[in-house]
Structure 1
Amino acid sequence: MTAQAVALPDPARPTLGPLLRLAGPVVASRLGIMAMGVVDTVVVGRYSAEQLGYHAIGWAPTGVVLTTALGLLYGIQVMTSQAIGDGRAQETGAILRRGVAYAFWVGLTAALVLMLLGGPTLHLMGLEPALANGATPVLQVLALSLVPILMADAGLFWLEAHGRAVPGMVAMWGANIVNLVLNLWLVPGNSGFPVDGAVASGWSTALSRVALLLFIWGAILAWAPARRYGVFRKAAPDPRAASAQRRVGYGTAASYFIESAAFGAMSIFAGWIGTLAVAAWAITLNVAAVIFMVPLGLASATAVMVGRAHGARSPAGVVRAGMLGFGVTSVVLFIICIIVGFGNEAIAAAYTTDAAVRGMAAAALLLSCLFYLADGLQNVGAQALRARGDVWVPTATHMTSYLLVMMPLGWALAIPAGLGVPGLIWSIIIASLVAAVLLWGRFWWLGRTSSLSRTSS
């Protein structure tokens, strides 16, 4: 893990080459995050459609908590990028140290809450008792893994802000190998340990996240400049900087919570439809989540370049970096839509051998192509806005789009209107379009005013 950092020599004049060189390994790293979920879903789905339902429901609340907690850590990447652009790279070690301590306590608190309240909450949601009972131990095992995954991602965000995305990518895919081996060993129930199915897959994920933590921090330890930047020495207290770092995280976490909670609600609605619908929705959502990792990686790369231009006080650089991210994301997602549209049946068949579930999932995957582009662009737009110091407008936009539009519309179309899983997808299409238009409209408007405010102020 000794790859050189991606060179971004002039933050005030971002160009396509550096964006692509940074985005490539960042996208690969984000795909690695979801590859764990794909392996879990495929292995469990081929083992048992019933166990796949347990896995989907158990993942829903833990996914919401994990995504929200990752949002709290986003200040690491934003503040590090801005400090580098402003010529203050020596301060970035303190940013990481604050972020790691924060990650530990956030993860520990979230794990305890999920362990104690997750199971009873599933029963209160009106799910079938057997489904809630089967999902509860899955939820509890996944909750245990929150501390290592959050501490690992804190280091990953910091490395990426320094342009060192390749070590993070290698670490992520190394953890994926661990996850794959453990899934194949534990899920069938022949390992000698008293676990199988969805619970066994949960343990595979938990152990692979511990491996990721070791890999990421090994990469930081091996990078000599990390010592120069103060990663391994105690920094002087800086309440103002710590507060600014948390403020970035608050806005991002609120957005992530709103969006992930809304998608979690879609899983609950699917549970109300029936077991087969849950399985088909799990496949659809898993594929969408994997695809979403592409614009999520592009959004991180875009945000690094926007943040550096912001730190360098270059309004033109901020706009150019944002629009480069918009253009690359549009092209890449259009290609992905074509691939999924023509390969929907093969993708569904890879997830399950159940004919009924496969048919429902294939139809849902075809329809899902309509929201991939809008959903990806809204994420890139939100991250670009946060990187230039506009923290709370993306949160308000997500509240409008996903809480006020998607959730009620998803319930209405899927349940009373009787559209089932397609009704859930139509609600996502509409909400994502609303969010994309509002966020990029905001970015364009701020670009015209050429107003830059320092996040740390």
Structure 2
Amino acid sequence: MSTVHSDPISLQDASPGEMGSAPVSWKDSYVATLQLAWPLVLTNFAQAAMIVTDVIFIGRLGAQALAASSLAVNIYHSFAFFAFGLVSAVAPMVAREKGNRAHDMRETRRIVRQGLWTAVLISIPAMFLLWHGQGFLAAIGQEPALVEEAGKYLRALLWAMPPFLGFVVLRSFISALERPGWALVMSIAAILLNALGNWLLIFGNWGFPTLGIMGSGIASAFAMLCMFLSLAAVIVIDRRFRRYHVFGRLWKADWSKLKAIWLLGLPIGAIVAFETTIFNAAAFLMGWLGEAELAAHAVAIQVVTLAFMTPLGIAQAATVRVGLAYGAGDALGVTRAGWSAFILGTSFMVLTATAMITIPTPLIGIFLDIHEPSHLPVLKLATVFLIVAAIFQLVDAAQVLAGGMLRGLHDTRVPMWYAAIGYWGIGLPLSYFLSQYTSLGGIGVWVGLASGLAAVSVLMVHRWLNRERLGLVRPLL
């Protein structure tokens, strides 16, 4: 069994935000996690709200436009979230450097620069493939009318990817420094800008062209660009970030750091992709069942996504807090940082599950006009989907939180295989079988999703429990 020995560091001598030291008590651990997590949670909500805003405006165009946007967003997310996982390796790398050498800015600067390089390098092939996404939808048998509308939306939305990934890199940087507030400010501003852009470009208000569903994609891409540029400006101006000079000599390659980001980030990207694509595949299965099923799924998945933003943000905080303790060689700090985040995240999901069961109609009404008679089939299906979704809220939280905790230990390769087994080895086949060969239909898709999430959560938590026996917690060499 591998253990870590380190001299205890008093919080009176150095705060976690400055020295990367682990909290010395459970209370301090909870406080430190909450202080870091709440801006990350709200930033996640804000970024999810950009897509939610699109859904709300597009939903006013009718069920067909809503279904088409669901197909397009699912394809976009397949690429964007894989790339998101790749570049998010910046956070645990910076956190470990800060925990190990608190005042060494050179290594941090090199990591961030190569994170931006990675954002560009992965965007180029992803955007090329997304440009041809309409052909993929046609090839898998989606309805021609939906394919045409989805293609318009996708070719506009794909331009959001480079600034989105650049923003993730910069947000990871300031989050690892435990100062994520500016990312939240920029995300909130982007929501407002995106809503305005949707209103102007979808419906042609104030003399703008009436672009329909394509206008929504353009609005999102422009808002994302503004969000990235604004955060970059803050990092250049704010003295707390300016001293790192992350944009200086940005053109200069650092092959060792670039390689390290890809080695750590590719498994993270694969984990995110496995989870994202199983939900995307679920949308395609719904598309085979019918337009009402797909529209109901689109609404239900938005509710679930919003709920997921809180444990995701807490998991991101866990990655930083665990990474700081790991870099400092503090095994006790690793334990407390991880479990405090886990308890906070799962407790929140108990509340969201209760809401999905007790008040599903108001939640659905956020995204769909529930008073429109023609939407009644969608409303009924979405209500049932939310009840099933409520059941897997806890396991969904457990898998993302345990994954974030392991990520702080730079443990990503084995969790990647866990995700592959759970999502694609269990979840997808079960969703397909239950939806296509039983009377469950769309409910079967959601039962399969729940089963896959449960399998991954058990595997992830088991690995965290055995972290010392597996040699994941040890002094840095």
Tell me if TM exceeds 0.5: yes
Corresponding position: 1:240 with 2:256? yes
Q: Per-residue deviation at 1:46?
A: 2.6
SS at match of 2:366: helix
Question: Are the aligned partners of 2:67 and 2:295 in contact in 1 as well (CA < 8 Å)?
Answer: yes
1:188 equivalent in structure 2: 203
Quote the residue 1:326 is aligned against. Answer: 342
1:292 aligns with 2:342: no
SS at match of 1:418: coil
Please tell me whether residue 439 in structure 1 is matched to residue 460 in structure 2. yes
From 243, 254, 264, give the equivalent of 1:228.
Answer: 243
1:75-125 CA deviation, whole Å, 9 max, x = no partner? 21111000000013442111111111211221132112211x211111001
> What is the CA-CA distance between 1:350 and the residue it aligns to?
2.4
1:307-355 Cα shifts (integer Å, max 9, x gaps):
0111011222212211111111111111122222222111112221222
- Provide the residue aligned with 1:424 in structure 2: 445
Aligned residue for 1:121?
Answer: 136
Q: Residue by residue, what CA displacement relative to the aligned partner does 1:115-158 show, whole Å, maximum 9, x if unpaired?
A: 1x211111001111111112111111111211111111111111
Cα deviation, residue 392, structure 1: 0.6
Query: Counterpart of 1:324 in structure 2: which amino acid?
Result: S
Whether 1:145 and 2:160 are equivalent positions in the alignment is yes
| Superposition deviation, residue 219 in structure 1 | 1.9
65-74 or 10-19, which deviates more: 10-19
Q: Secondary structure of the residue that 1:78 maps to in structure 2?
A: helix
| Alpha carbons 1:94, 1:230 under 8 Å: kept | no
Give the match for residue 411 of structure 2.
Answer: 390
- 1:110 aligned partner: 126
Report how far residue 8 of structure 1 moved. Answer: 6.7
> In 2, distance between residues paired with 1:408 and 1:153?
32
Change (3 A) 1:355 1:196: farther
Q: Take 2:293 and 2:202, find their aligned partners in 1: how far apart are those partners? A: 23
Cα distance, 1:263 vs structure 2? 1.0
In structure 2, give the amino acid aligned to 1:216.
L
Match status 1:254 vs 2:270: yes
Report the identity percentage.
Answer: 26
Question: Hey, what does 2:364 align to over in structure 1?
Answer: 348
Quote the offset at 1:418 in angstroms: 2.9
Classify 1:453/1:61 alpha carbon distance in 2 versus 1 (closer, same or farther; 3 Å): farther
Q: Which residue of 1 aligns with 2:21?
A: 10
2:44 aligned with 1:30: yes
Q: What residue ranges of structure 1 are gaps of 5+ in the alignment? A: none
Moved more, 29-38 or 192-201: 192-201
CA contact (8 A) 2:142 2:288 kept: yes
* Aligned partners of 2:114 and 2:254 also within 8 Å: no
SS of 2:79's partner is: helix
> Residue 53 and residue 82 in structure 1: after superposition, are their counterparts in 2 closer, same or farther (change >3 A)?
same
AA of the residue aligned to 1:17: V
Q: Alignment partner of 1:59: what SS?
A: helix
Q: Which amino acid aligns with 2:248?
A: R
Q: Is residue 385–residue 446 contact of structure 2 (8 Å, CA) maintained in 1?
A: yes
Unaligned runs of 5+ in 2: 1-14, 370-374
Match in the other structure for 2:84: 70
- Structure 2 residue aligned with 1:381: 402
Tell me the distance in 2 between the aligned counterparts of 1:301 and 1:185.
37
Letter in 1 for 2:143: E
**How many residues are paired up?**
452
Q: By how many angstroms is 1:185 displaced?
A: 2.3
Greater shift after overlay, 274-283 or 330-339?
Answer: 330-339
The answer (yes or no) to whether the contact 1:46–1:351 under 8 Å persists in 2 is: no
- Say if 2:427 is the partner of 1:406: yes
- TM-score after normalising by structure 2: 0.90
Report deviation, 1:414.
Answer: 1.3
Query: C-alpha deviations, 1:287-310, integer Å up to 9, x for none?
Result: 111111111101100100000111
8 Å Cα contact 1:72-1:253 kept in structure 2 = yes
The corresponding residue for 1:91 is 107
SS at match of 2:285: helix
User: AA paired with 2:316?
Assistant: S
Whether 1:312 aligns to 2:348 is: no
Q: Which residue identity does 1:406 align to in structure 2?
A: G
- For the aligned residue pairs, the C-alpha RMSD in angstroms reads 2.0
Per-residue deviation, residues 230-266 of structure 1 (Å, max 9, x unmatched): 3132387643333222211111011111111111100
Shift of 1:11: 2.6
Residues 69, 253 of structure 1: 8 Å contact kept: yes
